[in-house]
Amino acid sequence: MIEPERVPDEKSNSDAAPVNGAASPAGEPEAVPWRAPRWLLLAVPVVLVLVLLGIRALLTGDSDMNAEERDLPTAEQVESAEQSAEEVLTTWARPDLDYDAWWQALEPLLTPRAREGYAFTDPRRIPDLEVDGDPQVTAGPTTDTVTIGFPTGQGTFAVALYRSGEDAPWRASQIVFPGQKSPFDE
């Protein structure tokens, strides 16, 4: 279908420039250059610098809370954690037990996430360990996290412990093999 040719209205000023976003005499929208507000031009570099500094702090471990400044567990809390960790390690390292007996003894000593991780472990594949030295305590990032290492004839095995509050019992979140890092290492 052929469209009729448009005849300009006598009252319209076809030579006038179109207003921002208005149609040109040819009927096409006029391109209008976008200009950013001044505050945006200043805010973008500032935000970018802050983000980069935050990423640097995460990667290098810089933070406002150094090990010397954070609260450390009390002697009583450490003793309680040591007892819990030793119970976990000696219960876990029982390759002589069948799975049901082993899991029944170990499960209540673990955090919910650790239960998921250790539920399919075959106790026959776990080394038979004997603790042959004093425990080594490493405080975690809070007073509710601690890693206790135990020297054995097969290297130092550790137990990473967590508790949900000061009065809550310690639960194992991970058995740490020799050469591995604790999940609480900073």
Domain edges within the chain: 16-62, 75-176
Q: Which residues pair with 162 in a beta bridge?
A: 145, 171
Residue tagged 């702090």 (tokens): 57
Among 52-61, 80-89, 163-172, the minimum mean pLDDT is found in 52-61
Decide which of 131 and 21 is more confident.
131
Residue 139 to residues 64, 109, 112, 160: CA-CA distances in angstroms? Answer: 17, 19, 21, 10
Closest C-alpha to 139, from 160, 120, 154, 156: 160
Cβ neighbours, 10 Å, residue 180: 13
pLDDT, tens only, 99-146: 999 999 999 999 999 999 999 999 999 999 988 989 999 888 888 899
pLDDT at 44: 74
Kindly state the percentage of the chain with pLDDT values over 90: 42
Please state the pTM of the whole predicted model: 0.61
Contact 143, 73 (CB under 8 A): yes
Give the list of residues 6+ apart from residue 24 with CB closer than 8 angstroms, or none: 18, 30
- Written out in words, the top-level CATH class of the domain with range 75-176 is alpha beta
pLDDT, tens only, 149-168: 999 999 999 999 999 888 89
Contact 81, 170 (CB under 8 A): yes
Q: Would you say how long the chain is, in residues?
A: 186
